Structures are given as structure tokens and as C-alpha cells.
Chains A and B, each alone.
Chain A
Amino acid sequence: MKRTVYKELGEEVWRERLFNGLQVTVVPKRSFSRAYALLAVRCGGHDLAFSLNGAHREVPAGMAHFLEHMMFYMPYGTASDALEANGASANAFTTPEITGYHFSCNERFEENLGILLDFVTTPFFPAESVEKERSIIAQEIRMGEDDPARRLYRNLDRALYENPLMWEPVAGTAVSIAEITPALLEEFYRAFYSPENMILCVSGNVEPEAVRRVAMEKFHAKSAGALLRDRGEPEGLLPVRLRTEETMPVSATMFAFGAKLPMPGSGREQLRKRLVGNLACALLAGSSSPLFERLYEAGLVDPNFSCGVSNTLSGSTVLISGESKDPAAVMEQVSAEAETLAKGGGEALFERLKRAALGAFVRVFDDMEGICSLEANEYYRDCSLFEGREALQAVTLEEVRAFLRENLVLERFALSVIRPDKEKGE
């Protein structure tokens, strides 16, 4: 394996693309008691249309997530029981772009890693288990429907994007998951779970060579051929609708507004663009910004007010959210402040924010889960988390101002609001 040392960070990374096609990345932390492993498959809620070896295919919403549930079934029982019995705590998640399977433990790491790699590369979908998971997932979807934050963001995406992929819930709907069959799961699995679509990230008290050895033995996915993801046509930067509103049993009015951003591309450039976006958001409305103080003191926002860039492989959004009695006023003040900052000022704050961002970057490396999930995300953007320090140092105030000038403009915003329903709201 190739070892790279990051001296200032006190970290080292071991990397290798194995000849079976799997990318293996290990960040050893020998003073920790635990080790954490994440197998991240590039297959998520947005993967609903694709072509495999030239043949076009569409699948029902919720496919990747349903598959995540089903992967744990093995001829010997369930993989989560096997891992738990071995002292590991295991779980999985599905995002719009990634399905992640992970565990952590402080003994028998190699055995547990073997179980993980084995179950993620063993399709086993008995019909009765598929039926049972369908009823479980139906309850999971129901729970999501009662989650006001999820509704809020989904409504915002509907207002911003033409592409339905952007607002399809990752878990699908009761109607869409009804169409999922064992044969469809199998076909979808074959298309997406191939070695070039996966990365194994490990951090913690492990020997990199041991990780490599297990990955050579236990990983048995095969490439299915040329996969092309159909993520829809690129769209313009103006929102589809300016405003969307819904009522739910919530305690206070919640809002989220934002704008579509140009796609950041890949490699170091996209990392830099994301950092520019996040620094711009901190300068504009972060907890040390003058605007935040004004809004907070006027009682227009609460401590949960946040501003940042959210980024998936199919779309990138600048997002401002919180609770407020007057979301429209917040939106106006944000865009007015962006206009002012784009013209000048904020030098001292910018320098301090860069210092703070550097501190935050260093601190990521105390968290094994954070290291692995961030590294997997960067990997699928042809970049690495470890380039963050240099990329951050290179960001200039001019770029940040340009970001504000170009993107935080009122006509680009859509606003999503959830109001308390009258009956319940006090």
C-alpha cells in the first residue's frame, strides 16, 4: 500500500486500488481503542435511471435504500446479528448518492471486516424477506413524513429544481416501493455493486496491511460493465417557484431558502469551490457575522439558524434555514447583506473565519466516522479530504465576494415554509 504522511496534521494515509478493483484507504490511529470501517457504494437515492452496457433502465424511487435493507440478509441469518455477536455495532445509511455500510469494534476487527465485505458482496433476496422489509420500510417512510425538517427541505428542492430526482425521497414512497421485487433488486445490485463503485475506508486502531489482506480475501464483487448514470438534463439557475408553504403540527414557523449553484465539477477545484461557498456563508450569516447578531437580537432567528452549501453529485444548493416568525424578512436581509459584502468590507472577519475553519479542519481528525465518510465523499469527486488544509489556505476574500455577488441574489431564491397548524399551534 502507498503511505502518505501529513506531518502538520500528525496523520498518515495508506491507499491502494486492489487488483480486484476495490479502493482501500486506511487512516491508522493507534492510540484509539476502537476501529471503524465504512464501505461506501456509489449508489444512492438519485440513481433511478441508468444504462448498463448501453441498455437503458429505470427503477422505482427508493431502490437503493430498499437494497440497503436487503443486503443484511445472508443464507446464514442476518449480517447485523453476526457482527453484533462479534462485538461490533453495525449500521447502514443511504444518501442521494451513496449507500454506506459500517461498523466499529475494539476486538476481532479482521473477522468483522470479513463479515462486512462478504455481506455487501453477497446478493441474497428471499421473497418473504423482501415482503417483510417492505412493511418495515413503509413505517420508516411514514416516520419521515412526520419529520418537519425533511418536509421543509423536500419542498424547497421541489421549488428550486425541475429535475424530480432532486426531491424524490431517498426511501421512496408507499407506492414506489410496492413495485420492488427480488428480481429487480438483483438486477439493480448487479449494475451498481461493482468494485469500481466502492471504496473501503478504515480508521482507528488497525494495521493497514491487515485491512488489505482481508479485502483481498473476502471481497468478491464483479464488474458488471459500463454503467452510465442518468441524472437528468442540466438546468438553469433560476428557481421553478419562488415560494412554497405547508402546515404541520410543529411548534414554530420553520423556513429554508436557497439557490441552485453551478455544478462545482471535480477534483481539487470542486473542493475549493465548496470551501469558498462555505466561507462565504460564514461571512454572510455565520455565528460571528454582524447579520446573525442583528437577526438574533431582533428575535428573527434562533440559535439553529444556519447557512451553508449542500452538495450532491446531481446538484449543489446554497441553503439558509432556521425558525422565524418572519421568514420573508430574513430572506430580504440576507440578500441585502450579501449585496453589501460583495462590494467590500469584512476583511478582519474573513481572516478570523479562515483561522476558525483551519481549526475545524484539524478537529475532523479526532472523529473516525467523520474521516471515513468525508474521505469517501471526496473520493467520488476525485479528490481527498487531506487536501483540505492547502485548499483552505488558498481561498481569497475576492472569491468569496464573487460567490456572494453571483449566487445570493433575491431572484435566485426559493423559500420553503412550514407553519404550525392552527388547531395545534399555541
Chain B
Amino acid sequence: MDTVIKREFMPGVTLICVRTDQFKSGYFSVTLLRQLDKNTASKDAIIPRILRRGCRAYPDMKSLSARLDSLYGAGVWPTLRQRGEVLCPGLACSFVEDRFLPARERTMEKTVSLLAQILLDPFTKDGLLNSDYVATEKEVLLNDIRSVVNDKRSYAQRRLREIMFSEECYAAYALGSVETASRLHYRSLTSYYREMLAESEMIFFYCGQMEAGEAALVLREAFASLPRGEMIPMAETEIRVNSGELKLVTEEMAVAQGNLAMGFRLGETMYCPDYAAIGLFNSVFGGSSSSKLFRNVREKLGLCYYVSSSLDSFKGIMIVSSGIAPRNFEAARDEIMEQLEACRRGEIDEREFETARRRMITSFRGVSDSPDALDSFYLTQELRELRCDPAEMIGLAQMAVPEDLVRVAESVLLDTVYFLKPKEGGGTDEADGL
């Protein structure tokens, strides 16, 4: 595996090429870096979806799908990722490499060119995005925004974020809100699309059998008409290290199980973040099935089926989430805080620490086993001030010591507790007593 990174491959475009014969399919993605904002998130999210409906050469789903089918089931799809307060919409594609096909099909060139046409040369009428496509994609987007409620665990976390970050951009959902999505209109979206294309910084990521030089030639040709205007400054994430007064919110819904979400700020450790230590702390505390939370809240006390903590190291926050019977609310919350206290007291034994370290090393080594994981890894690195490759991240994990984790634990502050509980009479709490 051979990685080449070319910054300013084109103005404001970084190209990352990973050459490898490891996979049967090649992969390419274009990612735009946008500032997460409640007023524009819906627009950023919907543009790739509208573009994917058709381009000038393949103006509808039928012709586009036929083209992809004939490329041996190649895929082009809209993407939307998030790193802190940087929203990353884009397009990605994958295709079977020529060496596994009956004839030399040039699947890479053809699929990448198709993706470029979808991005740069949409199907328009009088220079405007197709109003029917905008209308149907708007309905789909609205539906996606509303459907957060279908998964109660994500819903509880979404509500937690809205409450915890009520004064920050981070409160915005990546898809925007029902309110902003309802206002989308094909005319204003067309000008938004043109600006977005011209002024956003972009990352091109390729992983496949082609040498970086050859891939660069293919990409230059495919993206020759990429408009490059005046770049807006790099999108970034605001970090607040203090939490105000503890916020406690309980809401009711007709559900069988209660869902607890607790939001923490990582605090002063974010002044100079040691990402390896932060990741290791999360792993020891609640990030795995050998973590303190899993072993105590689930295995020792049997309070829940799932309990875990997850990080957003860009924003400097951690969210603990657990599905519990309502009568166990206090017990679960107290045990979660007690396990954080244990970390602060330095009660991290050799075995816990080494398990977390191994886990982290395994996961960085595993990055090279999938193009998706590589794409995601390099996107994260490009957005950090200090960039690392997987081997350097492994080096940092190897240098960490338990005291580094204790420092992270000492810095962590509880900000908000959110509990989604079954409606009185609606839940079936008594059945637990079995």
C-alpha cells in the first residue's frame, strides 16, 4: 500500500491516492468542506442527492442506473459526513477493478468520469436545477429528518445535542430541520449549488490499482471544468471547555424502554488535545465491551443491554448512552458518574489500559483493510492541525501512559442529562421483575 498526498492538486483541492492491489473494487470520493450551520445544513445535505438524480448525459434514474449496471454494477452515491462543526457533503463511487472482469473495461476512468459529470454537469432546465427532482428529494429529506424518532437511541442523543448546544452551531442536525428543509426551492438552490462548488475546499480520495500519477491524470481530465472561485476560509469547530449549570431534561414518549443520554465536555484537555489519550480514555471508560461502563452498569449490575460512550474529538465532547428500565434511572446515572470518578482517582489497572491500547492499535491497523475506512481516516486527518498517518497514530498510542488518561478524566465535565422515558401507563415496567 502506497499513499501519496498532493495538496493544491487543483486550487483548494487536496488529492489523496492510495495505490493497492488488495481490493477487487476501486473507490473514489469527492468531499466538500462546509461550515455546519442550522440555516444551510439542509442545502448542503440535499445538493448531492439532487445531483445524483441525473446529469446532462444521463438525465434520469433509468439512464443513470442503466449506465451503472453496464459498468458491472458500479455505484455512485451521495455522501454526508460530519467532523465536529464541519459538514462534509460529497459524492463517492466504487467499481470492480478491470483485472477481475472479462475484458479491459476501464471501469475506473468511466465511473470517475460519471461521478464528475454528476457533480459538475447536472440536468438543468433553463440553467436551473430540475424542479421535480428538487421537489421529490425535499420530501425524502424531510422524511429522513423526521425519521430520527424511529430509532429511540439516536433520538435521545439528538435531543441531548439540541439541549446541550442550544447556543452553538453544533446543535444543528446534519440534515437541517423540518423548518429549513421545507423552505428549499430549486431557484435558490441552483445559485447555492454554484457558489458551493466554486468556493468550497475539497478533498479527492482515490484507492485502487492505479499509480498516483496515472490516477491524477484521469482526475485532471474528469474535473477539468471544476469551477474554482475565491475560497471561503476553511470550515472549523468552536470548542467550549466550560459547561454552565447542569441541565436536566426528562421527556415522555410511548416507548417500552427508557433511553438515557448524558453529555460531557472534555474540558481543558482540549486546549492541547492528545487524541491518543482521549481515545484511550473513552475506550477504558465506555467505548468497548471491556470498558468500565459495560462491565459495571451492564455486567455487574445488569441494569441495561447497552451502555456506551462515544466521542467527538473535534468538538471535544463525549456522550454516554444507555437503554434502561425507568425505575433504574438514578442507579444507572449514579453508576456512570461513579465510574468516571474511578477514572479520576486513577483506578485504571494495567489490564484495562493495555486492552484499550491494543484495541486502538488494532483499529488503526485495520484502517488499511477497507477503502471506506481509509477515506474516513484521511478526512479526519486533513481536518486536524497535526496530521498523522495510521502508523504515526499507532506510535502515539504506544507512547501513552495511564496517567495521560487520568488527566483526561479529570478534565471531563458533565453538562447535560437527558432521559426519554415511557409514558405513564404506557410502559411495561412490571415485566422486568421476572
Give CA–CA (A107, B24) in the complex, Å. 24
B256 touches A359 (CB 8 A): no
B100 touches A80 (CB 8 A): no
Nearest Cβ distance between residue B176 and chain A, in whole angstroms? Answer: 15
Give CA–CA (A301, B368) in the complex, Å. 37
- Chain B 44-71, CB-CB to A under 8 Å as 1, else 0, gives 0000000000000000111001101111
Q: Which residues of A contact B428 (CB under 8 A)?
A: 174
A297 touches B73 (CB 8 A): no
A358 touches B72 (CB 8 A): yes
Interface centre among B65, B255, B359 (most CB of A within 10 A): B65
Does A365 sit at the interface, judged by CB under 8 A?
A: yes
Known: A297-B132, A302-B140, A357-B73. A139 touches B359 (CB 8 A): no
Give CA–CA (A21, B95) in the complex, Å. 40
B368 touches A33 (CB 8 A): yes
Q: Which residues of A contact B325 (CB under 8 A)?
A: 139, 142
A143 touches B306 (CB 8 A): yes
A106 touches B139 (CB 8 A): no
Q: Which residues of B contact A421 (CB under 8 A)?
A: 254
A139 touches B304 (CB 8 A): yes
Give CA–CA (A290, B178) in the complex, Å. 31
Does B347 sit at the interface, judged by CB under 8 A?
A: no
B305 touches A251 (CB 8 A): no
Does B337 sit at the interface, judged by CB under 8 A?
A: no
Chain B residue nearest to A354 in the complex (CB): B69
Binds A, one of B146-154, B261-269, B380-388: B146-154
A34 touches B365 (CB 8 A): yes
Using C-beta atoms within 8 Å of the partner chain, give the interface range for chain B: 35 or more
Known: A8-B100, A360-B73, A366-B23. A33 touches B369 (CB 8 A): yes
Does A292 sit at the interface, judged by CB under 8 A?
A: yes
Nearest Cβ distance between residue B79 and chain A, in whole angstroms? Answer: 14
Interface centre among A145, A288, A299 (most CB of B within 10 A): A288
Known: A85-B354, A138-B431. A106 touches B366 (CB 8 A): yes
Does B257 sit at the interface, judged by CB under 8 A?
A: yes
Nearest Cβ distance between residue B147 and chain A, in whole angstroms? Answer: 4
Q: Which residues of B contact A323 (CB under 8 A)?
A: 143, 147
Does B86 sit at the interface, judged by CB under 8 A?
A: no
Does B358 sit at the interface, judged by CB under 8 A?
A: yes
Q: Which residues of B contact A142 (CB under 8 A)?
A: 256-257, 305, 323, 325
> What is the total number of residues of chain A having a CB less than 8 Å from a CB of chain B?
79
Does A385 sit at the interface, judged by CB under 8 A?
A: no
The A342-379 residues at the B interface (CB cut-off 8 A) are: 349, 352-353, 355-360, 362-363, 365-368
Does B298 sit at the interface, judged by CB under 8 A?
A: yes
B143 touches A355 (CB 8 A): no
Cβ-defined partner of B302 (8 Å) among A104, A136, A174, A423: A136
B66 touches A174 (CB 8 A): no
Does B288 sit at the interface, judged by CB under 8 A?
A: yes
Give CA–CA (A34, B254) in the complex, Å. 43
Q: Which residues of B contact A88 (CB under 8 A)?
A: 362
B366 touches A84 (CB 8 A): no
B358 touches A296 (CB 8 A): no
Nearest Cβ distance between residue B75 and chain A, in whole angstroms? Answer: 9
Does B96 sit at the interface, judged by CB under 8 A?
A: yes
A-B contact count (CB 8 A): 199
Does B242 sit at the interface, judged by CB under 8 A?
A: no
Nearest Cβ distance between residue A132 and chain B, in whole angstroms? Answer: 4
Interface centre among B62, B72, B324, B369 (most CB of A within 10 A): B369
Does B245 sit at the interface, judged by CB under 8 A?
A: no
Give CA–CA (A81, B61) in the complex, Å. 49
Known: A31-B21, A355-B69. A9 touches B355 (CB 8 A): no
Give CA–CA (A140, B288) in the complex, Å. 17
Does B22 sit at the interface, judged by CB under 8 A?
A: yes
Give CA–CA (A274, B94) in the complex, Å. 25
- Chain A 122-146, CB-CB to B under 8 Å as 1, else 0, gives 0000000001111111111011011
Does B4 sit at the interface, judged by CB under 8 A?
A: no
B323 touches A139 (CB 8 A): yes
The B13-38 residues at the A interface (CB cut-off 8 A) are: 20-25
Give CA–CA (A139, B255) in the complex, Å. 12
Does B399 sit at the interface, judged by CB under 8 A?
A: no
A424 touches B140 (CB 8 A): no
Known: A139-B305, A355-B69, A362-B24. A86 touches B432 (CB 8 A): no
The A203-259 residues at the B interface (CB cut-off 8 A) are: 248-252
A135 touches B302 (CB 8 A): yes
Chain B residue nearest to A29 in the complex (CB): B22
A293 touches B257 (CB 8 A): no
B290 touches A84 (CB 8 A): yes
Nearest Cβ distance between residue B426 and chain A, in whole angstroms? Answer: 10
Cβ-defined partner of B366 (8 Å) among A33, A149, A356: A33
Nearest Cβ distance between residue B181 and chain A, in whole angstroms? Answer: 13
Does A197 sit at the interface, judged by CB under 8 A?
A: no
Does A105 sit at the interface, judged by CB under 8 A?
A: yes
- Chain A 175-211, CB-CB to B under 8 Å as 1, else 0, gives 1011000000000000000000000000000000000
B22 touches A105 (CB 8 A): no
Q: Which residues of A contact B146 (CB under 8 A)?
A: 251-252, 426
- Chain A 1-42, CB-CB to B under 8 Å as 1, else 0, gives 000000011100000000000000000010111100000000
Give CA–CA (A238, B71) in the complex, Å. 39
The 30 listed contacts between A and B (C-beta, < 8 Å) are A10-B24, A33-B366, A33-B369, A84-B288, A84-B289, A84-B355, A85-B354, A87-B359, A87-B361, A90-B289, A106-B365, A106-B366, A138-B431, A139-B257, A139-B304, A139-B323, A140-B305, A146-B256, A147-B151, A174-B432, A250-B150, A252-B147, A287-B61, A288-B61, A323-B143, A323-B147, A352-B69, A355-B69, A363-B24, A423-B254
